[in-house]
Structure 1
């Protein structure tokens, strides 16, 4: 069985490195594509620009930071959840934002989970490991063609 990919949308290099380290404990780190801003995330998802040749239907989950350059995470989430091809793709907000308005708006827009990045290193590693394992290994996505993730 070929593992589906994880899209990590994270502009902070340290947080991205920690996330990849945590995912590597389930051998998922080599299945992660990372983009560093919201505009690049949308290009990836809609297979345009540098991502025009990206393979269809191979995403398990998007790990989405909210505080992003160019296009913020809430706008990326809104676009994903309003698109017929992408709306069933699981999105987990992985953010340092503890702002209630971000939490409420994320759920209003249809986020699947909202994880606040713990400040403590080991807590951060554990949180990402659990999120990655659940969405990439345990979760059963909709069948291809029935709202399948692009």
Structure 2
């Protein structure tokens, strides 16, 4: 199995470390590119596509509450950049009842639990489903 490429947009370094450790648990290898805001991530994706590198993300995980470009705009920007299928997970701790604009990419909003064990459980489920079963 080839290494998975994950683009992580998270400005909480503690959450970023927990997510990275969870994704690489059990000897699984992931190339994780961490960005603290959505604008930097969009520039990175554009650079990948322009240079035709093989680093196209298999999964994007973004913190909706902390990125400069909100989740819906981030998804619109991603769909503007590529015809490639990239699943996107938007983590939210606001608990708001968002009704995002759907586009051609698969994505979902997940509540970001405040309790660490529950947070890790959610990330493990994301890893299992999106990096093992789907990709």
> Which ranges of structure 2 fall in alignment gaps of 5 or more residues?
none
Q: 1:136 to 1:124 in 2, by over 3 A?
A: same
Q: Quick one: distance in 1 between partners of 2:92 and 2:52?
A: 26
Runs of 4+ aligned residues of structure 1 deviating over 4 Å after TM superposition are 51-54
**TM value normalised by structure 2:** 0.82
Q: Quick one: distance in 1 between partners of 2:67 and 2:115?
A: 25
Contact in 2 for aligned 1:38/1:76 (Cα 8 Å):
yes
Task: Answer 1 or 2: higher relative contact order, Cα 8 Å, separation at least 6.
Answer: 1
Contact in 1 for aligned 2:64/2:92 (Cα 8 Å):
yes
* Bigger share in strand: 2
> Which ranges of structure 1 fall in alignment gaps of 5 or more residues?
141-150
The answer on 1:71 being equivalent to 2:69 is: yes
Q: 1:83 to 1:104 in 2, by over 3 A?
A: same
Q: Quick one: distance in 2 between partners of 1:7 and 1:84?
A: 15
Q: Quick one: distance in 1 between partners of 2:50 and 2:12?
A: 25
Contact in 2 for aligned 1:4/1:58 (Cα 8 Å):
no
The answer on 1:41 being equivalent to 2:34 is: no
**TM value normalised by structure 1:** 0.75
Contact in 2 for aligned 1:22/1:126 (Cα 8 Å):
no
Q: 1:113 to 1:69 in 2, by over 3 A?
A: closer
Q: Quick one: distance in 1 between partners of 2:123 and 2:37?
A: 20
What SS does the aligned partner of 1:113 have? strand
What SS does the aligned partner of 1:11 have? coil
Q: Quick one: distance in 1 between partners of 2:28 and 2:43?
A: 23
Work out the number of aligned pairs and report it: 133
> CA shift at 1:135, angstroms?
1.2
> CA shift at 1:22, angstroms?
1.6
**Residue correspondence of structure 1 range 109-124 to structure 2 within 5 A:** 109-110=102-103, 111-124=106-119
